[in-house]
Amino acid sequence: MATKLTIDPVSRIEGHLKIEATLDNGIVKEARSSGMLYRGLENILIGRDPRDAARIMQRICGVCPTSQGLAAAFALDEAYGVNGNITNNGRIMRNLIQGANYLQSHILHFYQLAALDYVDVTAVADYAGSDPTLKKVRDFIARGHLGPFVPRYEGDYRLTKEENIHAVRNYVEALNIRRLAHEAVAVFGGKMPHNMAIVAGGVATRATLDKMSRFVGRIEQLISFIDSCYLPDVLMVAERYNDHFGIGKGCGSFMSFGVFDLDSDPDLTKRRRYFPQGIVSLDDLRLRRVDPNLITEEAQYSWYSDSAPRHPYDGKTESDHRKKDAYSWCKSPRYNGEVIEVGPLARMLTAYVSGDKQVQEAVDGVLARFNAPVSALDSVLGRHAARAIEAKIVAAKLRDWVMELKPDQPSFTPFNLEVSSRGMGLHEAPRGALSHWIVVKDGKTSNYQAVVPTTWNAGPMDANGQPGPIEQSLIGTVVRDKNNPFELVRIVRAFDPCLSCAVHVADLGGRNMGPFVVGLE
């Protein structure tokens, strides 16, 4: 007999996500992923000075605002015709600001969002050692203050007591390390979140020896934490949960727009980036070129009035919360009609297939340790491992790139404000492929669309009946206890969904958008 299971909201993610699953004998046969707040931030830009996009679009999310601001800046670079003239200092500082935010986001995801699916915090309850951090956690638990560790679905905790205690200590330390990453962003960005430095034409700050020194100091501490804690902790979890290399298989196709510019080619599809652009299918591990003209968003099952597939330049963001059969405020992005997964796993696979020796060595090392094929990366543990590998590589590159800056050399290129054009910003947020699309007429924004990573991953089924990537990854999962479906939230959290990005704005007019159910999670 079929059973319907609803998790609303899924906790320990960014924003409000509802998951519905239809179980048949404990196996997920159908799944729905629903973004539960109205998206509409793009509409705020219409009629405004286009340059406002680099500021306003950062307000999409407080975790990865640098990505939204930089994607907006790339689109503005093209609209204003300055995209081929970004100075080396401007290009490098954009990479440094973005890279530091990557490290913050990945560390946040593993420790504060995902690790509690595998770590039993109560192991610290009778801690008798001298570590001051663990003593504070122990005393905190003794007073009955288990938040933010509970409520949660209780999983099959497999770490030893010593491993659990070790992980809890690193959970707390990760909070301090994230602060250092925020400070690294602020060195060149001015502040975090919502930095003020990224603008059309480059960066609105200058490189100085003092800033370079302050940045390096923080990155060195981040490198130490990633090497000694983050990557080993991911591998520790993988050792105990190696069956999770076979759980959470998604659509099998992956796309990256590439990230960390190495030149300023005006054509973003040809620009050299440290992590390359491309599309990879696990069926053949062949790298395909990205054609932005083949990107569409449709809203057949989304609460928007226009259902037809549209290229983002022609996209519309007009709500219709009474639309028949709709179940999400996320749209359904597709590439040439194909369901695509984006994120760190997509970036690592693209780099792996492109021949990046450093990525190949790191990925092959993890796979060999668990005697797993490349196809096993399409899984819960594959997504976690990809983030940790990327964090290690990015941190080391930031230390190199900051030394390439030329103190007091220009970081901004002036441009003509008289423009009636359009611009595309292809970029990679920590959570995956991100694109901003602006149409400018008579010096004002006439249309703006942001197609964000979680829209790609958490979007609903399309008109052809194809479920989105998260939905596909849930289908076939065995749920042992429908009242404690920890298997499902582990899969969802491995994608690191950010509904703050996918559905940007709540209705401020006081209208009741519908019931909000706070469940077991």
| Model confidence pLDDT, tens digit, residues 66-77 | 999 999 999 999
Residues making up the chain, counted from first to last: 521
Low-confidence ranges of the chain (pLDDT < 70): 39, 500-521
Find out whether 117 and 493 touch, Cβ atoms under 8 Å: yes
pLDDT at position 408 is 87
pLDDT at residue number 62: 81
Mean pLDDT of the chain: 93
Question: How many Cβ atoms from other residues are within 10 Å of residue 422's Cβ?
Answer: 17
The 10 Å Cβ neighbour count of residue 237 is 25
Residue with tokens 């400070």: 183
In terms of Cα–Cα distance, which of 159, 163, 162 is closest to 118? 159
How confident is the model at residue 372, as a pLDDT? 95
pTM of the model: 0.94
**What's the pLDDT score for residue 502?**
56
**pLDDT of the residue at 506:** 38
Cβ neighbours for 488, distance < 8 A, ≥ 6 positions apart: 5, 7, 19, 21, 28, 474, 477, 479
* Measured distance CA(49)–CA(493) in Å, rounded: 37
Q: Give the residue among 61, 71, 51, 48 at the shortest CA–CA distance from 428.
A: 71
Q: Is 158 exposed, middle or buried (0-12, 13-18, 19+ CB in 10 A)?
A: middle
Q: How far is residue 483's CA from residue 99's CA, in Å, rounded to a whole number?
A: 40
Annotate 439-489 with three-state secondary structure. EEECCEEEEEEEECHHHHHHCCCCCCCCCCHHHHHHCCCECCCCCCCHHHH
Q: How many CB atoms lie within 10 A of CB 304?
A: 25
Q: What pLDDT, on the 0 to 100 scale, is given for residue 39?
A: 64
Residues 219 and 106 sit within 8 Å (Cβ to Cβ): no
Helix (H, G, I), strand (E, B), or coil: what is residue 333?
strand
Two tokens, residue 496 = 């690191």
Reduced to 3 states (helix: H, G, I; strand: E, B; else coil), residue 430 is coil
- The dihedral through the CA atoms of 148, 154, 159, 161 has a sign that is positive
Helix (H, G, I), strand (E, B) or coil at 73: helix
Query: Which one-letter amino acid corresponds to residue 91?
Result: R
Distance CA 160, CA 178 (A): 26
**pLDDT recorded at residue 519:** 36
CB 75 within 8 A of CB 425: yes
Tokens of residue 22, six digits: 């239809």
The answer to whether residues 385 and 377 touch, using CB atoms and an 8 Å cutoff, is yes
Work out the burial of residue 445: count CB atoms within 10 Å of its CB; fewer than 13 is exposed, 13-18 middle, 19 or more buried: buried
Tokens representing residue 53 in the block: 């996009």
- The first and second tokens of residue 366, run together, are 């993890």
Q: What backbone phi and psi angles, to 5 degrees, belong to 371?
A: 50, 45
